[in-house]
Chain A
Amino acid sequence: MRAANETPAVSRRTALNWLLGTSLGATLVAALYPVFRFVIPPRVAEAPVNRVLAGKLSQLPDNSGKIFRFGSKPAILIRTPTGEVRAFSAVCTHLNCTVQYRPDFQHIWCACHNGQYDLQGKNISGPPPKPLEAYKVDIAGDDVYVTRGA
Chain B
Amino acid sequence: MRALDKLWHALDERLELDPIVEFVAHKVVPRHRHSWAYYFGGLTMFFLFVQIATGILLLLYYRPTAEAAFESVQFIVTRVPFGWLVRSVHSWSANLMILSAFAHMFSVYFMGSYAKPRELTWWSGFALLGLAMGFGFSGYLLPWNTLSYFATQVGTDMVSKVPFAGAWLLKFLRGGSEVTGATLTRFFGFHVAVLPMLTAVLLAGHLAFIQRQGMHVPSSLEEEAKRRKPIRFVPNFMLREGVVWLLGLAALAALAAFFPWELGTKADPFASAPAGIKPEWYFLFMFETLKLLPAHLFGIEGELLGLGAFAAGGLVWFLVPVLDRGRPGGGRGRAFFVLGWLVLAYIVGFTFASFAGVFK
Which residues of A line the B interface, CB within 8 A? 39-41, 67-69, 72-74, 76, 90, 94-100, 110-114, 123, 126-129
Contact = CB atoms under 8 A, between A and B. Distances in A.
Given A72-B178, A123-B295, A126-B295, A40 B273 contact: no
A37 to B, nearest CB: 11
Contacts of A74: 269-271
Given A40-B168, A74-B270, A127-B295, A95 B153 contact: yes
Contacts of B60: none
Contacts of B276: 111
Given A111-B274, A127-B290, A129-B295, A73 B153 contact: no
Given A67-B271, A129-B296, 19 more contacts: A41-B171, A41-B182, A72-B178, A73-B178, A74-B270, A74-B271, A94-B303, A95-B303, A96-B157, A97-B153, A97-B154, A98-B270, A99-B272, A100-B273, A111-B273, A112-B277, A123-B295, A127-B303, A129-B303
Q: What are the nearest 9 A-B pairs in CB distance? A: A100-B272, A96-B157, A111-B273, A97-B273, A129-B301, A95-B154, A113-B291, A96-B153, A95-B157
Interface in B139-195: 150, 153-154, 156-158, 168, 171-172, 175-178, 182
Contact of B176 (A41, A90, A123): A41
B272 A126 contact: no
A47 to B, nearest CB: 16
B330 interface: no
10 contacts: A40-B168, A40-B172, A95-B158, A95-B303, A96-B157, A97-B277, A98-B273, A112-B273, A114-B360, A127-B295
Contacts of A129: 295-296, 301-303
B272 A111 contact: yes
Interface of B: 150, 153-154, 156-158, 168, 171-172, 175-178, 182, 269-277, 287, 290-291, 293-296, 301-303, 360
A39 B157 contact: no
A114 B289 CA distance: 12
Contacts, number: 79
Contact of A68 (B153, B270, B273, B287): B270
A125 B172 CA distance: 32
Given A41-B175, A96-B157, A126 B291 contact: yes
Given A41-B171, A94-B303, A127-B303, A69 B176 contact: no
Nearest to B276: A111
B124 to A, nearest CB: 25
Contacts of A68: 270
Contacts of B273: 97-100, 110-112
A73 to B, nearest CB: 7
B153 A67 contact: no
Nearest to B182: A41
A119 B213 CA distance: 64
Contact of A98 (B156, B176, B271, B295): B271
Contact of A40 (B171, B271, B302, B303): B171
A113 B290 contact: yes
A99 B225 CA distance: 59
Contacts of A67: 270-272
Nearest to A123: B295
Contacts of B182: 41
A91 B175 CA distance: 19
A109 B208 CA distance: 52
Contacts of B172: 39-40
Given A67-B271, A74-B270, A96 B154 contact: yes
B293 A127 contact: yes
Contacts of B153: 95-98
Nearest to A40: B171
Contacts of A112: 150, 154, 273, 277
B311 to A, nearest CB: 16
Contacts of A114: 291, 360
A136 B67 CA distance: 33
B160 to A, nearest CB: 9
Contacts of B158: 95
A69 B157 contact: no
A48 B335 CA distance: 57
A90 to B, nearest CB: 7
A96 B168 CA distance: 17
A100 B153 CA distance: 16
Contacts of B171: 40-41
A112 B155 CA distance: 11
B301 A98 contact: no
